[in-house]
Amino acid sequence: MAALIAENFRFLSLFFKSKDVMIFNGLVALGTVGSEELFSVVAFNCPCSPARNYIYGLAAIGVPALALFLIGVIWNNHTWNLVAECHKHGIKNFSAAATFLLFGSIMGRAAVAPVTWSVISLLRGEAYICALSEFVRPSSLDKFPAEYGAEVLARFPCKDVPANLTKFRDEVTRRLRYESQLFGWLLIGIVAVLVFLTKCLKHCCSPLSYRQEAYWAQYRSNEDKLFRRTAEVHSRILAAKNVKQFFGFVALDKEEKELVQEFPVEGVQPSPQWNAITGVYIYRENKGFPLYSRLHKWAKGVEGNGPSPEGHEMLFLAS
């Protein structure tokens, strides 16, 4: 059983680390759907009170969406690459188009979860009904009793109404749910069109062929995996050397002893080298040969990150 669980976790880890952006976005969307369903069942409870319904309904849709958006921005590596780039060099190396695409990439990836949350909330309709029930005009309801007003309409989402208003409650609920679901489907259509146009624009403006762009994506993925794996081993070996120097010995298991013997580590990389490989990368070519990353460019001894006269510029849109 333990081996089966470990294998499943390993599969999920590989799945989430996939370089396919669409798969990752789909997983984010599915996770958001599940969270929204749980929230609706457990946490959502309309106050059914005038002036409170509207605030509560909008908050139920907007606040989680805002939180998910900020989490998406924080989890995006481009965000921190941009922060590092601005801290060290500003954005003087970027053209207006590259800057726009960079922000578009960050915002687009971060918008997957909040848009999904908003769509599911609108399709369910509870928050929309709660927010707008008190604003339904009594005159639009056939034979609605004149003695009742917004206070009673605000109680419709809780079904706490006099018996003679039951049919009006059903009509108001049906009407608002129709409007809510209509807005939800329209939002889905708008997002689908925007994603399609963005993908078309990206491939039309790319200076790379489809196959070279696919190779570039594979290179970025492999470089990142190898860099992380090597950095983990390097830091472990360096830590082992420092611990041994302090205590006179270091407690290593068999695998760690083999790593220490196989990969001698003399020291750490100086800060200028770390700065050279950190930050936003603008695609460049050096004398006709592509440079696929900051690490690649550092290894070739090419300075700077701005566009050169003989090269092309393209924003680094890694998954």
The gap from C-alpha 261 to its chain's centroid, in whole angstroms, comes to 41
Specify if 20 maps to a domain: no
Label residue 225 by pLDDT band (50, 70, 90). Answer: very high
Same domain, 221 and 150: no
Alpha helices in the chain (DSSP H): 2-16, 21-42, 52-75, 77-88, 96-110, 112-124, 126-132, 150-153, 166-205, 210-247, 254-262, 271-276, 294-299
Specify if 23 maps to a domain: no
Greatest extent of the chain over all pairs of C-alpha atoms, in Å: 91
Least reliable range by pLDDT among 4-13, 31-40, 105-114: 4-13
Tell me the pLDDT tens digit for each residue of 306-317: 544 444 444 444
Token pair recorded at residue 94: 């970027």
Specify if 142 maps to a domain: yes
Same domain, 199 and 275: no
The predicted structure's pLDDT at residue 191: 92
Per DSSP, what are the bridge partners of residue 276? Answer: none
Same domain, 151 and 215: no
Judge contact between 132 and 57, C-beta under 8 A. Answer: yes
Domain of residue 229 covers 210-300
Tell me the pLDDT tens digit for each residue of 136-185: 888 778 777 777 777 888 888 887 777 777 888 888 889 999 999 999 99
Same domain, 117 and 198: yes
Tell me the pLDDT tens digit for each residue of 184-195: 999 999 999 998
Closest to 293 measured CA to CA, from 223, 207, 213: 223
Specify if 10 maps to a domain: no
Same domain, 233 and 199: no
* Mean pLDDT confidence for 56-77: 89
Label residue 318 by pLDDT band (50, 70, 90). Answer: very low
Specify if 314 maps to a domain: no
Specify if 32 maps to a domain: no
Same domain, 191 and 45: yes
Same domain, 170 and 293: no
User: DSSP string covering 107-168, please?
Assistant: HHHHTHHHHHHHHHHHHH-HHHHHHHGGGS-GGGSTT--TT--HHHHTTGGGT-S-GGGHHH
The predicted structure's pLDDT at residue 90: 64
Same domain, 187 and 219: no
Same domain, 46 and 181: yes
Specify if 313 maps to a domain: no
* Mean pLDDT confidence for 77-104: 72
Per-residue pLDDT for 242 more than 80? yes
* Mean pLDDT confidence for 46-68: 89
Same domain, 264 and 166: no
Work out how many domains the chain is built from and give that number: 2
Q: What is the mean pLDDT of the chain?
A: 79
Same domain, 149 and 296: no
Specify if 309 maps to a domain: no
